[in-house]
């Protein structure tokens, strides 16, 4: 069995943080947003409503069947409510999540493979294509919805997503015992370093941000014994394909953890700035003009990169030079989207590529990609972030959703900001569920170590490439028996605990109820 570890795009030895120049290159086009904040909000609102109009109310999915894209839209609905301090999409999202549960059999499924016979017997890894990417999107949206709305209905979906990835991720205890419940063999004792943090195909980087946002909403957890563990041995299995979305997702999660004080040290901050430099200077992903290169291989990568940079900008754990650099980069993307790829028939539909005008029909990928840029641009206008962080003076309005550590306390307290939670429930309470403020449980520490284990001590090229398969294609493959799980596990009876799907109603194997770990956090 090949174990897939988490890798990033960049190699830190190739970059010197001190030597990095975060001045926007003079070749970047339109690195400033000249429109008002009201204009940006209106533009985002119209594009968002256009996308929502394309959702099938029966199953909560886009009419084109791209399941992963609907999850992106859900998170964008939450983000728009957050930026506008509203809850207009809360009830609609609850309905959407209930509808999409009918497809959790593959959204929250274990690792799968598609076998195709064409001259040669080809095995195509589809986990990241289908289940992995979709799980990330829906889990991310649910975690954000819970953080913003404080409604535990969303927490249940976030738990299901997290738990599905968790059962394929090796903990420190499992690495020591060399056993994991979801695999029927003995683990290697090590692969140059500990196996803790390794994940079987269901890529943990896709879950890093979901976990980070859930941790971001908890206010009573003490994080200790955090150590970065990662495989660095070339003999161990790894996919060297460079992925912009993998890198973007990684640094978004890292930015949240750093801003929350969970992982707050100089190496982490250096890693974050090095990541931004590497991603925005990669010629495969953007041209000399700074505009993201939309293509079939990296189409969704622009979403991940823009979202990650907006998160770094907002959490403000960076220098003023890097803040200005990120603002310029997002502004380039905003102006490219707003000026070029509009539909000739409907100005609220956005297409691709961003480097030239085109007549477009609605496409869920390009529409949500444009929305990510619009939402990121809103907080750039007038140079103001939408909420405060530990390095920004507290605002006198509302309550921030970003927890911060008190320097003299082991309890994370809330900071002041511009977004208010619904008064009936607040996920950022500084009191434990048992009304105590005691130390964190072992489960909380375990989750902290799992997340920390995704942060490499020395980075290698990040794995992750995919194509998009719509829901009809996947159901068709399943119907004809083309899905195969990893080495023999697929032959197990569907009722077997090993093949059960993690959900609030269906706990994980061995009565461990892994999804309740997040309940302890919150």
User: What pLDDT, on the 0 to 100 scale, is given for residue 161?
Assistant: 75
Q: 448: helix, coil or strand? A: helix
- Average of per-residue pLDDT values in the chain: 63
Q: Which long-range contacts (CB under 8 A, 24 or more apart) does 35-43 make?
A: 35/338, 35/381, 36/381, 37/378, 37/381, 37/382, 40/374, 40/377, 40/378, 40/381, 41/83, 41/84, 41/378, 43/338, 43/374
Report the C-alpha gap between 30 and 335 in whole angstroms.
6
pTM: 0.64
Tell me the pLDDT band of 111, cut-offs 50, 70 and 90. very low
Q: What percent of the chain has pLDDT over 70?
A: 48
Highest mean pLDDT: which range of 96-105, 226-235, 343-352 = 343-352
Tell me the pLDDT band of 38, cut-offs 50, 70 and 90. very high
Contact 337, 367 (CB under 8 A): no
Question: Is residue 204 scored above 90 in pLDDT?
Answer: no
Of residues 177 and 330, the one with the higher pLDDT is 330
Q: What percent of the chain has pLDDT over 90?
A: 21
Q: Residue 517 is encoded by which pair of tokens?
A: 């770990």
Whether the upstream peptide bond of residue 345 has omega within 30° of 0, thus cis, is no
Q: Domains for the chain: give ranges and CATH numbers.
A: 12-521 (1.50.10.20)
Q: Residue 86: which of 408, 360, 310, 398 has the closest Cα?
A: 398
Of residues 413 and 350, the one with the higher pLDDT is 350
Burial level of 333, CB count in 10 A (0-12/13-18/19+)? buried
Of residues 301 and 304, the one with the higher pLDDT is 304
Q: What DSSP element (H or E) covers 400?
A: strand 399-405
Question: Is residue 58 scored above 50 in pLDDT?
Answer: yes
pLDDT digits (tens, 9 = 90+) for 345-367: 888 998 877 666 565 688 898 89
Q: 404: helix, coil or strand? A: strand
pLDDT digits (tens, 9 = 90+) for 151-161: 998 988 888 77
Report the C-alpha gap between 11 and 284 in whole angstroms.
16
402 contact partners, CB below 8 Å, separation of at least 6:
216, 259, 260, 315, 387, 388, 389, 415, 417
Report the C-alpha gap between 166 and 110 in whole angstroms.
11
Q: Provide the β-strand partners of residue 124.
A: 114
Question: Is residue 31 scored above 70 in pLDDT?
Answer: yes
pLDDT digits (tens, 9 = 90+) for 392-410: 222 222 333 333 333 333 2
Decide the pairing of beta strands 55-56 and 412-416: unpaired
Question: Is residue 60 scored above 80 in pLDDT?
Answer: yes
Tell me the pLDDT band of 341, cut-offs 50, 70 and 90. low
- Between the CA of residue 368 and those of 293, 375, 388, what are the distances in Å? 16, 10, 26
């Amino acid at each position: 069995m090949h174990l897939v570890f988490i890798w990033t795009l960049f190699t830190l030895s190739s970059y010197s943080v001190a030597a990095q120049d975060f001045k926007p290159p003079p070749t970047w086009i339109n690195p400033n947003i000249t429109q008002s904040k009201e204009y940006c909000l209106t533009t985002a609102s119209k594009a968002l409503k256009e996308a929502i109009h394309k959702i099938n109310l029966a199953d909560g999915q886009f009419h084109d069947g791209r399941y992963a894209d609907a999850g992106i839209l859900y998170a964008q609905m939450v983000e728009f409510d957050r930026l506008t301090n509203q809850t207009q999409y809360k009830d609609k999202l609850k309905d959407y999540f209930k509808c999409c549960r009918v497809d959790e059999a593959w959204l929250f499924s274990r690792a799968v493979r598609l076998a195709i016979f064409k001259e040669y017997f080809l095995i195509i890894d589809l986990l990241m294509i289908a289940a992995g990417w979709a799980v990330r999107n829906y889990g991310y949206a649910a975690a954000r919805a819970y953080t913003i709305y404080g409604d535990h209905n969303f927490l249940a979906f976030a738990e299901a997503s997290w738990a599905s990835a968790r059962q394929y991720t090796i903990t420190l205890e499992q690495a020591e015992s060399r056993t994991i419940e979801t695999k029927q063999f003995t683990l290697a004792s090590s692969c140059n370093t500990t196996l803790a943090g390794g994940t079987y195909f269901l890529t943990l980087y896709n879950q890093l941000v979901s976990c980070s946002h859930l941790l971001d909403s908890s206010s009573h957890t003490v994080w200790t014994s955090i150590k970065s563990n990662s495989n660095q041995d070339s003999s161990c299995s790894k996919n060297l394909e460079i992925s912009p979305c993998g890198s973007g997702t990684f640094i978004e999660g890292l930015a949240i953890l750093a801003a929350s004080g969970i992982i707050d040290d100089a190496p982490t901050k250096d890693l974050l700035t090095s990541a931004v430099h590497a991603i925005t200077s990669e010629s495969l992903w953007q041209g000399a003009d700074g505009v993201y290169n939309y293509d079939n291989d990296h189409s969704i990568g622009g979403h991940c990169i823009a979202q990650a940079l907006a998160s770094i900008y907002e959490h403000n754990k960076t220098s003023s030079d890097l803040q200005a650099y990120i603002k310029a980069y997002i502004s380039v993307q905003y102006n490219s989207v707003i000026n070029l790829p509009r539909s000739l028939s409907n100005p609220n539909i956005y297409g691709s590529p961003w480097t030239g005008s085109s007549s477009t029909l609605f496409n869920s990928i390009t529409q949500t990609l444009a929305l990510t840029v619009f939402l990121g641009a809103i907080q750039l206008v007038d140079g103001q972030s939408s909420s405060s962080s530990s390095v920004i003076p507290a605002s006198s309005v509302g309550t921030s959703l970003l927890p911060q550590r008190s320097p003299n306390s082991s309890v994370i307290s809330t900071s002041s900001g511009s977004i208010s939670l619904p008064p009936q429930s607040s996920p950022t309470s500084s009191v434990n569920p048992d009304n105590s403020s005691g130390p964190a449980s072992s489960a909380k520490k375990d989750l902290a170590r799992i997340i920390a284990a995704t942060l490499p001590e020395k980075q290698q090229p990040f794995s992750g490439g995919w194509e998009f398969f719509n829901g009809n294609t996947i159901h068709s493959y399943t119907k004809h028996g083309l899905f195969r799980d990893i080495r023999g596990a697929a032959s197990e009876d569907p009722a077997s605990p090993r093949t059960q799907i993690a959900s609030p109603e269906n706990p994980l194997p061995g009565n461990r109820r892994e999804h309740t770990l997040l309940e302890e956090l919150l």
